[in-house]
């Protein structure tokens, strides 16, 4: 699982090291699954920087796997909201780097999206058809690679984006107080919701808060900061 900006930037190097280990290569028997985290990367770096890092990581992982003769399946840890990777299924699959979907893909469907997409048999069948058709089309007719000038532009924009995002969310000493004043973040922690604690640690700032309550808290006041900022 690679989910923070630092994790995503180092994903290819990590997997290259593993694939170069003889015993590990024997163990996986030519197949490997790598999960890309959307929620925590967006909370860590902002929506734009996280998405570009995810794209680059998938490109690099695909190339590394091909070099080592490994069949790679990318596991997309998406949520329902935009800031957690939510998007129409077909568009989401068509936007992946060329070659990253090679006849197989794995995705998460969380929370209310399970009932929304698979709650009724007819709707479930329709969504499975969309997944199947989009996977086949992305495999047989992959999208073109981004032009060099587009990459340079994205690099400049995301470098600026992550700085602005972190200056606001992490470096501003008043941000945590603002979050807890205008949103029900503390109250949400008291509710018996979810399978995991709302925080990774009892103490700490934004970095210790899990991505789901982070997004949920802003949603309650209709201020979609996780999707707008950065």
**pLDDT at site 194:** 56
Please give the Cα distance from 199 to 84 (Å, whole number). Answer: 17
Q: How many angstroms separate the most distant Cα atoms in the chain? A: 54
CA dist 45 → 13, 52, 54, 105, 158 (Å)? 20, 10, 11, 25, 9
Instruction: Name the nearest CA neighbour of 211 among 221, 196, 223.
Output: 196
CA angle 57, 58, 64 (to 5 degrees): 90
Please give the Cα distance from 216 to 179 (Å, whole number). Answer: 12
- pTM, two decimals, is 0.85
**pLDDT at site 6:** 92
CB contact at 8 A, 3 and 42: no
Q: What are 213's two structure tokens?
A: 């309550």
**pLDDT at site 12:** 95
Please give the Cα distance from 192 to 187 (Å, whole number). Answer: 11
**pLDDT at site 11:** 94
Mean pLDDT by 10 residues, the chain (230 residues): 91 95 93 89 88 94 94 83 68 86 83 80 91 90 91 95 92 90 85 58 65 84 86
**pLDDT at site 85:** 60
**73 - beta bridge partners?**
33
Please give the Cα distance from 16 to 143 (Å, whole number). Answer: 25
Helix axes 47-67, 11-19, angle to 10 degrees: 20
**pLDDT at site 3:** 87
**pLDDT at site 197:** 53
């Amino acid at each position: 699982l690679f989910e923070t900006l630092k994790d995503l930037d180092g994903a290819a190097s990590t997997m290259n090291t593993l694939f170069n280990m003889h015993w590990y290569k024997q163990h996986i028997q030519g197949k490997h699954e790598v999960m890309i985290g959307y929620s925590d990367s967006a909370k860590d770096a902002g929506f734009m920087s996280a998405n570009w890092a995810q794209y680059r990581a998938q490109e690099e992982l695909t190339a590394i796997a091909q070099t080592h003769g490994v069949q790679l399946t990318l596991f997309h840890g998406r949520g329902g909201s935009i800031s957690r990777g939510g998007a129409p299924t077909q568009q989401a699959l068509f936007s992946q780097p060329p070659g990253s979907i090679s006849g197989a893909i794995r995705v998460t469907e969380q929370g209310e999206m399970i009932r929304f997409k698979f709650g009724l048999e007819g709707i479930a069948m329709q969504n499975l058809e969309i997944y199947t058709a989009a996977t086949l089309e992305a495999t047989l007719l992959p999208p073109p690679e981004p032009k060099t000038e587009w990459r340079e532009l994205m690099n400049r924009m995301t470098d600026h984006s992550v700085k602005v995002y972190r200056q606001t969310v992490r470096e501003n000493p008043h941000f945590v107080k603002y979050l807890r004043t205008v949103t029900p973040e503390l109250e949400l922690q008291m509710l018996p919701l979810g399978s995991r604690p709302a925080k990774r640690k009892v103490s700490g700032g934004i970095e210790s808060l899990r991505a789901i309550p982070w997004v949920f808290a802003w949603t309650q006041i209709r201020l979609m900061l996780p999707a707008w900022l950065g």
